[in-house]
Amino acid sequence: MRKVRIYGTLGPACGDPNILERMLREGMDGVRLNLSHSSLEEAGGLLHACRAAAEACGVPCELLIDMQGPELRIGALKDPLPLRAGELLAADVLPFPKAVREALSIGQEVLLDDGKLLLRAESGGLRVVRGGVLESRKSVALPGIAIPTPAMTEADREHIRKAAAFGVTAVMQPFVRSAEDLLAVRSALDRAGGREIRLLAKVENAAGIAHLNELIPHCDEIVIARGDLGNAMPLWELPAAQKRIAAACRSANRDFMVVTQMLDSMMRRAVPTRAEVSDIFNAVLDGAASVMVTGETASGDYPIEAIRYLNKTVREAEAYRSSLS
């Protein structure tokens, strides 16, 4: 059975070539670049550091770009904005996209930053139900409402046109809703000379789950993106959804990746929780072809250690799986 691939996410915490080199030596196979927050050109320093690290190690390092796609995000904030539970915000305080503003009605819930913050629309504005600190460009979701948006933004199309030149090996399409979304991205990649670039479909909403069987033939790998997927349903239903997606992928002989909060405690701690390593172990036993950490390496305090624990747990799971056969 093929070795499970290990991915980290590029960001300021691992922008030093020496740190990236150590991450590669700890078993990292590739990196994700989140293009919801920057462009390929703006990330030039990170990409240069990644190439330098790979050359120093003498190993390849895959580059996965995560596009914005139909995901909705707030606009720019002058400074991080503290939101206190119970306070009532004026409707125009937060720079929501026009489509979000138009979809708001009394009683509608608004999830921000992968569900970390929760607001509820009232006649006088937005009530903070679950507070925290909101930063620019964080995700926005309206549970129960599907807001029509194109599969790709103009920035996404520009990134696809430049993907091959920047050494991109895979494109992650967020919030996939139907086969049409994937066909549009695949066509754009092919026209841009990216026929060899893999296409990964992120399942993170109700539409993605409903149309999973039609998505599988049109991508190279399914991504079980548990952040926003956990916003699309009660959290206690998420594990069963993950199991069902994994089973569908195994049945169709399609690779799948598990991502989001795999080592979230390592944002600020040098050692993960027992629950986190169990989660990684079980993802491998379920047949995951790859696993990925996001903020843990992009902005966490322990990016090298996070990759070490991720890799060692994956290898232990592989050994256990082999012992059963």
Per-residue pLDDT tens for 114-168?
888 999 999 989 999 999 999 988 888 888 887 878 889 899 999 999 999 999 9
Q: Report the Cα 200 to chain-centroid distance in Å.
A: 11
The verdict on 161 and 131 lying in the same domain is no
Whether residue 195 lies inside any domain: the answer is yes
**In 3D, which of 184, 138, 176, 139 has the Cα closest to residue 160?**
184
CA distance 251 to 253: 6
Q: Looking at the 3D structure of the chain, how many domains does it have?
A: 2
**Do the beta carbons of residue 287 and residue 247 sit within 8 Å?**
no
Task: Supply the pLDDT for residue 108.
Answer: 95
Whether residue 300 lies inside any domain: the answer is yes
Task: Supply the pLDDT for residue 118.
Answer: 95
Q: What is the Cβ-side half-sphere exposure of residue 304, based on CA atoms within 13 angstroms?
A: 10
Answering whether pTM is above 0.95, one says no
Domain carrying residue 77: 72-141
**Both structure tokens of 204:** 């993170």
Choosing from 119, 141, 163, the residue where a domain stops is 141
The verdict on 166 and 44 lying in the same domain is yes
Choosing from 113, 141, 169, the residue where a domain stops is 141
The verdict on 79 and 49 lying in the same domain is no
Task: Supply the pLDDT for residue 115.
Answer: 85
Sheet holding 117-122, edge to edge: 72-73, 139-141, 109-112, 117-122, 125-130, 88-89
Q: What are phi and psi of 307, to 5 degrees?
A: -65, -40
The verdict on 57 and 81 lying in the same domain is no
Q: What is the pLDDT of residues 253-272, one digit of tens each?
A: 999 999 999 999 999 999 99
Task: Supply the pLDDT for residue 114.
Answer: 81
Structural element, H or E, at residue 255: strand 255-259
CA distance 111 to 113: 7
Whether residue 149 lies inside any domain: the answer is no
Task: Supply the pLDDT for residue 146.
Answer: 78
Which parts of the chain register pLDDT below 70?
Answer: none
Task: Supply the pLDDT for residue 144.
Answer: 83
Task: Supply the pLDDT for residue 70.
Answer: 75
Task: Supply the pLDDT for residue 35.
Answer: 94
CATH of the domain at 110: 2.40.33.10
The verdict on 240 and 290 lying in the same domain is yes
**In 3D, which of 95, 91, 39 has the Cα closest to residue 72?**
95
The verdict on 66 and 119 lying in the same domain is no
Our separate counts of H helices and E strands in the chain read 12, 16
Q: Report the Cα 152 to chain-centroid distance in Å.
A: 16
CA distance 158 to 148: 21
Task: Supply the pLDDT for residue 194.
Answer: 97
Choosing from 96, 115, 141, the residue where a domain stops is 141
The verdict on 289 and 250 lying in the same domain is yes
Whether residue 47 lies inside any domain: the answer is yes
Sort 78 into a burial class: Cβ within 10 Å, 0-12 / 13-18 / 19+: exposed
3-state SS, residue 226 = helix
The verdict on 48 and 76 lying in the same domain is no
